[in-house]
Structure formats: structure tokens, C-alpha cells
Structure 1
Amino acid sequence: MEKIALFVLFTSSFLVVDSDCQADFKKCSLKCAEAHVSSKTMKESSCPQTAYVFPRKSATDFIRVKYPMAPIDDFSVCTWIKIYGSGIFTGTLLSYATVEDSNELVIIYQGNHDEQVIAKSEFGNRKHKLKRGVQNHLCYTFQRSAGTVNIYHDGTFQAKMNYKKKNKIPAGGTFLIGQEQDSPAGSFVVDQAIHGEIRNYMAWNRVLTAAEITKMYQSKCYCAPGHILSLLPEYIQLSGAVNGINVADECN
């Protein structure tokens, strides 16, 4: 079987992938994502315009990043999210689990309007003010050396969480969006599923500045430089009823 080298966003090295897997992900037991992506997404000067809908509350509906991560030191993640349905929003924006710790890095919304950020099984909580039926812009920045997480909503700083543990998040874990893992890629529950849509979900291996975050909120056509992850179809697999949705190309 022919092997080819691909440069993987999460690492500074090369990963060898079977050419058959590129041509047909089903041969690797993967489901190929079918998102409608802007024709400009491959240009470094533009943002990857991606969007996915989670049409129901289901333990089977999530997005999985296919490629392994390098160890996480400083880290930022941002996304637009539109919440469907009624009542108190619950759902998981990020779950990164390893065999050693299922709560290496978690962003989850629980009952009673609780926003919970977990780093190395250390919990931080606050009340959130996300709105249903509209696009909310969220950013989280993790600074390992300081043991802090900063939270931004709609381009504005909201809160800082402090953590005692300052170890790097290790490589080799499972990265999911839409479900929280009590074991790697498993032990899912309905209440922790997302019911809504996410757009332009991206991550960086550095702490974004407040100015960069504000600018991304003000313009979906701007991305802070150096992202290591976007939800382009070739980097993810979809589970359950999650589907790519058409995104108008507003960045021409």
C-alpha cells in the first residue's frame, strides 16, 4: 500500500497516512465530513468558513478531530455558537481526554447556567449569559505558566479562572466537540450534547490577545494568525446526525 507524508496541523512533524485513507475514509472506518466550505479557505489571508449543525440532543452526535495533538502549553479556542431549543442550555464545547485523565481539558455548559472549564481535572465554574437563537462568539485562552483561563463573550473579556496545576496537557488524547468523555471517546450522556450550530471553530497554540479576539468578533473574515485547527472536512469525522451546513461566502 502506498504511503504518503502529510503535514498535520497539530504537530511540528510529519504523519504517515495510507493513500487509501485519503481517497476513501470508509476504508479507515471514518465518516468523511461533507461541509460546504468557502473557496477561499485555503488562502492564508482568509478564515476557513466552516459551519456544522447538531440538530438534536443525542449521545451519538459529536465531531471528532482525526489527528493527534502535540502537547498543549498555551492554547486558545474560539467559535461562534447558536443555541437551538428552549430551557437551560447544556452541552460540551470541547472535551480532550487521555487514558490517564478523561478531564485533561473540558469546556462544558451544565444546568443552572453554569459554565465549567476543567483543566487536568481541576474545575472552574461561573454563570454564563449565552443567548438562544442568535450567534454568540466565545473565546477561551489557556496560559499554562500562569495557571489561568480567560473567557471572552462577544469580543469582551468576561472572567478569569485560576488553576493550581500548571502541567502541560499531554499529547495523544481524543479531541471531541459536542460530547464530554468519561473515558476516551466513550461514556456519553444526552445532557452533555450540543443542540445548535457552531461556525468557524478554531484553535491556536498560543494565548490570543484581547485585540485579536475583539477583531474576530467584529469580522468573521478575520482570523488571528497561526491557527493549528479549523474544522475543515479533511481534519474531522462526524458522528450521528451532525452535518455540515452551507455558509455564505462573505469574505470575497
Structure 2
Amino acid sequence: MDVDVLLLLICFSISFKDLSNKMFTFPRQTNTAHVRLTTSRQNLGAVTVCLRSFTDLKRSHSLFSLATPSADNDFTIFKGAASDEYLLFAKNSIAVFFGQDYKLNTWQSVCSTWDAVSGVMQLWLDGKPSSRKFASSGSNISGPILIVVGQEQGIYGGDFKSDKSFVGMMSDVHMWDYVISPDEILKYSKRQTFTSGNVLNWSALEFQILGKVLLEDQQNTH
């Protein structure tokens, strides 16, 4: 086989894409449209997830949903109905955070951390930390991991609810298998050079779009 053809086949077989300066647009409320983010990892003793979102939603909505067959909220970032409220889940256990400076029609960076040993979760909104709260400890996230943005998984891979769906734009999704430092979170929030996620990396992302979701150039409005 010709070397150039072989290289071309290899490129097509590896579906990782560099989404730098791109964004997912979720243009309407549905119980179907979402993006699945792929990872080969099946055991996590700690998690950090960072993303940027832009929306005018005043209702509650899901930002990041990681499920396994044994837990539909194995790691979830959820914006609550109250304007200053975020809900974080680990191993189906919840930690609620109030007093957050949530803004409409503005790009905001959201980071969440959890460690299985301590069981502690923390939220970082635009680089500003919340108080640290206990959610769940003693066991890792394990099993076939399914990650969804745009919807909350009520069961593994489904049971989406339109009134929990995300409507707006999302970009720069990264995930690590450890709790990254406050300095790294601050660099991320300020769009400075930071260590990319080793579980999900926006610059080398494997994903699947299902339903009405657009992949577009990012609008860097503030």
C-alpha cells in the first residue's frame, strides 16, 4: 500500500480533532440534542473538569454529565434555578454551592474538582473558589464512562429532560484525572497557557454530535 494512502487511512481512523477557537452551539431547548465526549478511561480516583459557557438561561440546566451504569451522576456540574446556585455531584452524592457570581450573556469559566480520598468537591467560577464541601469518598468512579454535554443523564446514556438541557454556547472543555492546582485553574480562567486535560483535551477531542448542535468558530465576546 502506498505510504501516503496508509497515512490518510490512519488519520481518518483517529477521530481526535483540534477544537481550538471552536465552540458547540446548542440553539434550542430539546430532550435530544447533545454531544458525547469520548475517553478510554474507566477508573478515576480524582477529577477536575473545566469548561466555558455562554447562555441567557435563567432556569436550571446541566453543564457536564458523566455517568456509569452504576451511577447516573458519577460526576455532574449543574447550574441550579437560583441565580447564585450550582450543584456538583460525585458518585451520586450532591454538594450545593451558593453565592456564585453567575452572569447572563457572558463567557464564564466553570471548574469543578473532586478527590475520592477526601470526598471533597470545590467549584471555581471565573477563577474564584467556592468553599470546599464533602460529597462522597471511599470509592473511585469506575466502569464504562459516558460523558455528555448539553443534557443531564437521568439514566446511563439517556432519560434526558428538555427543562434541564443547556441552550447557548460551550467551549474549551478539559478534564484531568487529578485535582489541578489553583494556579492552573486561574491560568485557565484567564485564557493563559495551562496544562491541557489528560482525560479530555479540547485541542485533541474525540466526540460525537447528536441532534441539533452546531460546531462553529468561537465568538470571543465578553
Using a 3 Å threshold, how does the CA distance of structure 1 residues 67 and 228 change in structure 2: closer, same or farther? Answer: closer
Distance 2:115 2:171 in 1: 24
The 5 Å alignment of 1:149-164 reads 149-164=121-136
Q: Secondary structure at the match of 1:228?
A: coil
Q: Secondary structure at the match of 1:133?
A: coil
The 5 Å alignment of 1:153-232 reads 153-218=125-190, 220-225=191-196, 227-231=198-202
Offset of residue 226 of structure 1: 5.2
Identity %: 20
Give the corresponding residue for 2:61: 91
The 5 Å alignment of 1:53-64 reads 53-64=25-36
Q: Secondary structure at the match of 2:172?
A: strand
Distance 1:139 1:111 in 2: 19
Greater Cα shift, 72-81 or 112-121: 112-121
CA RMSD for the aligned pairs? 2.7
Match of 1:147 among 111, 119, 128: 119
Give the corresponding residue for 1:5: none
Runs (5+) with no aligned partner, structure 2: 1-8
Taking structure 1 as the reference length, what is the TM-score of the superposition? 0.74
Retained in 1: the 8 A contact 2:26–2:168?
yes
The code of the aligned residue for 1:243 comes to L
Distance 1:67 1:209 in 2: 22
Using a 3 Å threshold, how does the CA distance of structure 1 residues 149 and 51 change in structure 2: closer, same or farther? Answer: same
Offset of residue 234 of structure 1: 5.4
The alignment status of 1:118 with 2:89, answered yes or no, reads yes
Retained in 1: the 8 A contact 2:39–2:145?
no
Give the corresponding residue for 1:13: none
Q: Secondary structure at the match of 1:245?
A: strand
Using a 3 Å threshold, how does the CA distance of structure 1 residues 135 and 66 change in structure 2: closer, same or farther? Answer: same
Using a 3 Å threshold, how does the CA distance of structure 1 residues 244 and 36 change in structure 2: closer, same or farther? Answer: farther
Retained in 2: the 8 A contact 1:53–1:244?
yes
Using a 3 Å threshold, how does the CA distance of structure 1 residues 224 and 124 change in structure 2: closer, same or farther? Answer: same
The alignment status of 1:246 with 2:217, answered yes or no, reads yes
Instruction: Give the number of aligned pairs.
Output: 210
Q: Deviations over 1:132-176 (max 9, x none)?
A: 111111111111111111111111112212124331000312111
Distance 2:62 2:101 in 1: 16
Retained in 2: the 8 A contact 1:36–1:245?
no
Retained in 2: the 8 A contact 1:36–1:246?
no
Retained in 1: the 8 A contact 2:89–2:135?
no
Distance 1:226 1:92 in 2: 21
Using a 3 Å threshold, how does the CA distance of structure 1 residues 202 and 226 change in structure 2: closer, same or farther? Answer: closer
Offset of residue 192 of structure 1: 1.2
Using a 3 Å threshold, how does the CA distance of structure 1 residues 126 and 149 change in structure 2: closer, same or farther? Answer: same
Distance 2:77 2:205 in 1: 24
Taking structure 2 as the reference length, what is the TM-score of the superposition? 0.83
Distance 2:204 2:185 in 1: 24
Q: Secondary structure at the match of 1:191?
A: helix
Retained in 2: the 8 A contact 1:79–1:138?
yes
Offset of residue 197 of structure 1: 0.8
Using a 3 Å threshold, how does the CA distance of structure 1 residues 125 and 234 change in structure 2: closer, same or farther? Answer: closer
